[in-house]
């Protein structure tokens, strides 16, 4: 396992700027005032709740020559970002949105052009539904007020050992209902529960390099899940093939 592979598996969701920005040609250009807001005409507001908050992951998905992508911070009421009941091809236990009454989570909207949305679909199609969420209490730092937005929701629900979801400690939230953990802590917990005979490094290595082991471990995670249950949800078609 290379240092880069280890980083991608254990440091998810990576570095998350605490300010709004435009991802442009591989760099972040801060948005500090409403006058610095780009034109959002024709763009789709998609809630980022995991690594899509990070310019590092956006660089992996879109490259250094991608068109500008506005990433605008929001406060979202009655939801939290929790670990999903699946393991990504690069070895991380990734994130999904989950109802959490009374919680206010600090996330962002990725304002995606049509081309960017198609690419995002390709990267999310393996393990997520593309959904339209309504009746939201969502406060953006800049840009229009929204009561509806789109989101990628984990198809297998969230991992809930001991019947409790696990929020991402790397994502800030107020009034959390459950104990938050960083990725390395969740990897250790999954290792202890799913494959305790080997080392943590062996567990991560297998999830990266052995598709059958990764699928087996994911199925074991899915034995203790909670599904996404929110009345104002419409599941939409992506119409793309998953990215390799």
Q: How far apart are CA 14 and CA 208, in angstroms?
A: 17
- Token reading at 244: 């390799």
Per-residue pLDDT of the chain (244 residues; tens, 9 = 90+): 798 999 999 999 999 999 999 999 888 999 999 899 999 999 999 999 999 999 999 999 999 888 999 999 999 999 999 999 999 999 999 999 999 999 999 999 999 999 999 999 999 998 999 999 999 999 999 999 999 999 999 999 999 998 999 999 999 999 999 999 999 999 999 999 999 988 999 999 999 999 999 999 999 999 999 999 999 999 999 976 777 5
CATH level 3 topology of 3-235:
Hypothetical upf0131 protein ytfp (3.10.490)
The full set of domain ranges for the chain reads: 3-235
Q: What is the pTM of this model?
A: 0.95
Q: Do residues 103 and 173 lie in contact, with contact meaning Cβ atoms separated by under 8 Å?
A: yes
**Residue whose C-alpha is closest to residue 77's, from 140, 129, 14, 19:** 140
Q: How far is CA 158 from CA 36, 86, 110, 128, 172, in A?
A: 36, 8, 22, 11, 18
Q: Can you spell out the DSSP letters for 31-69? A: --SGGGPPP-TT-EEEEE-SGGGSHHHHHHHH-TTPPPE
Q: Is 143 helix (H, G, I), strand (E, B) or coil?
A: coil
């Amino acid at each position: 396992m290379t240092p880069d592979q280890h980083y991608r598996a254990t440091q998810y969701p990576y570095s998350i700027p605490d300010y709004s920005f435009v991802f442009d040609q591989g760099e972040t250009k801060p948005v500090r005032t409403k006058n610095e807001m780009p034109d959002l005409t024709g763009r789709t507001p998609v809630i980022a709740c995991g690594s899509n908050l990070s310019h590092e992951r956006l660089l992996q998905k879109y490259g250094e020559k991608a068109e500008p992508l506005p990433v605008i911070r929001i406060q979202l009421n009655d939801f939290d970002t929790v670990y999903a009941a699946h393991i990504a091809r690069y070895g991380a236990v990734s994130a999904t949105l989950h109802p959490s009454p009374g919680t206010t989570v600090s996330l962002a909207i990725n304002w995606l052009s049509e081309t960017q949305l198609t690419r995002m679909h390709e990267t999310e199609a393996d393990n997520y539904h593309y959904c339209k969420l309504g009746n939201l209490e969502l406060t953006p730092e800049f840009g229009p007020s929204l009561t509806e937005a789109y989101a990628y929701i984990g198809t297998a629900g969230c991992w809930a050992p001991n019947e409790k979801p696990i929020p991402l400690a790397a994502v800030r939230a107020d009034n959390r209902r459950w104990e938050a953990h960083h990725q390395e802590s969740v990897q250790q917990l999954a290792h202890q529960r799913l494959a305790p005979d080997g080392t943590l490094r062996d567990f991560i290595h297998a999830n990266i390099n052995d598709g059958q082991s990764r699928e087996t471990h994911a199925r074991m995670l899915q034995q203790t899940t909670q599904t996404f249950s929110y009345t104002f949800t419409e599941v939409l078609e992506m119409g793309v093939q998953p990215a390799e």
